[in-house]
Structure 1
Amino acid sequence: MLTTLSLVGLMLASLASILLLFRGTKESIDSSAEIKVARLSILSFILAVIGEFTLTSNSMDSDTLARMLSNLALYAGAPLLVSSILAKALDRSFKMQTWGRYLLAIIALFELCRRMEIGENYGYALGMILVIALFSAGLATKTKPMRLPLSLSAITLGLAFAGYLMQTEQSVVYICLMVAVWFGASALKNIPSR
């Protein structure tokens, strides 16, 4: 029951984060590539949660699709979200084509590690890199009020990663992810555009 509630909380936090990134008038909405990439990556979390709820039959196809959606969120969505936050914090702007190539490289690296049967080690390394990147974004941003949300996002992402490593209750991991997504998106929204 607690796992279901935490999954619902993760989905609601992801929806709220997307709405937060869309907040504003047509003229004032930040339409930078980094914000678009963040919205897309947060959408992958929502798809993974929907997959957890709807793909509950015992067929092999349902299990495979649920695993694919989960892998999409963890191995593509999370790196894209953290990368867009880091790019925005460092005041670096990239074209959508560059982000698309980056996404292809992330997916190719995941597939390569999976086929080499070092996917678990890749997941551990990716988790540590994402936490370090969020802390770096918090330290590197020139907008001092954004350091706290970025640091809190990094801490809660680190707690989620540690909870996953220690095989704690899934609800704890989902709650930490929920808080990390919200703080990351709120920080991303408040970092001024060029």
Structure 2
Amino acid sequence: MVLLSQLVLLGSALASSALLYRKAQSDTQATTLGVMSLGALSLVLAMMGRLLLSGSGADTQTLRLMLDNLAFYAGLPLFALAVLARGFGWDWSRAAWGRWLLGCFGLFELCRRFGTGEQYMQGLAAFICLAMVVGIVKGERGGSRLLALTGALAAGAGLLLFGPGTLVPESRHEALYLLALAAFLPLTSAGVSLRRS
């Protein structure tokens, strides 16, 4: 079941990244959509790492963990922040997005060193969900809003109920977490892409 969910998320993230990249070519907020595309691409890399790096050596496990961390601690927060920025009509430069990415890395390392990784993971999961909902409610209308909110609800279920940052540790379930992310990406990406520039 986990292997199937990894394959589904890989395809979903790849399709979402391509959709967002194509939409960015003709949108006034091209940089924001490009950041969303890169956020989805980080999940592609994480799933490829899980599927292709099957060795049990320390280096292989470290690389897999690095790709997973890139997706959860940088890719998903940037995706959510881009949804929020698009909702409010903020169009930041590439340099500003690079600073946000460095901030994600720095905050992760700071919390890891202070031993507050679990709380940071839970707070980050809640932030991701909240930022997407606020951005979608503020910026999207009609069918676009409904589609994107359905995706945000799937992300909320995956991140807050089944994922590594779950608020209920007994409900942690890897396959459901990956399937929820697989549902979230295309729904939110399609919803956000439907909006006219």
TM-score (norm 1): 0.91
- Do 1:23 and 1:29's aligned partners in 2 also have CA atoms closer than 8 Å? no
Q: CA RMSD in A?
A: 1.8
Cα 1:186–1:69 shift into 2, 3 Å: same
Amino acid in structure 1 at the alignment position of 2:127 = I
Residues 1:186 and 2:190 are matched in the alignment? yes
**Which of 35, 38, 56 lines up with 2:54 in the alignment?**
56
- Do 1:149 and 1:183's aligned partners in 2 also have CA atoms closer than 8 Å? yes
Cα 1:62–1:138 shift into 2, 3 Å: same
- Do 2:24 and 2:34's aligned partners in 1 also have CA atoms closer than 8 Å? no
Residues 1:176 and 2:174 are matched in the alignment? no
Give the number of equivalent residue pairs: 191
Name the residue aligned to 2:18.
Answer: 19
Cα 1:6–1:25 shift into 2, 3 Å: closer
Residues 104-132 of structure 1 deviation map (CA, whole Å, 9 limit, x = unaligned): 01110001001111111100000011111
Name the residue aligned to 1:139.
Answer: 137
More deviation, 17-26/97-106: 17-26
What's the secondary structure of 2:115's corresponding residue?
coil
1:152-167 equivalences under 5 Å are 152-161=150-159, 162-164=161-163, 165=166, 166-167=170-171
TM-score (norm 2): 0.90
Query: Mind listing any 5+ residue stretches in structure 2 that lack a counterpart?
Result: none
Amino acid in structure 2 at the alignment position of 1:11 = L
C-alpha separation between the residues in 2 aligned to 1:32 and 1:22?
9
Cα 1:25–1:70 shift into 2, 3 Å: closer
Name the residue aligned to 2:149.
Answer: 151
C-alpha separation between the residues in 1 aligned to 2:24 and 2:171?
44
- Do 2:77 and 2:128's aligned partners in 1 also have CA atoms closer than 8 Å? yes
Give identity over the alignment, percent: 29
- Do 1:160 and 1:176's aligned partners in 2 also have CA atoms closer than 8 Å? yes
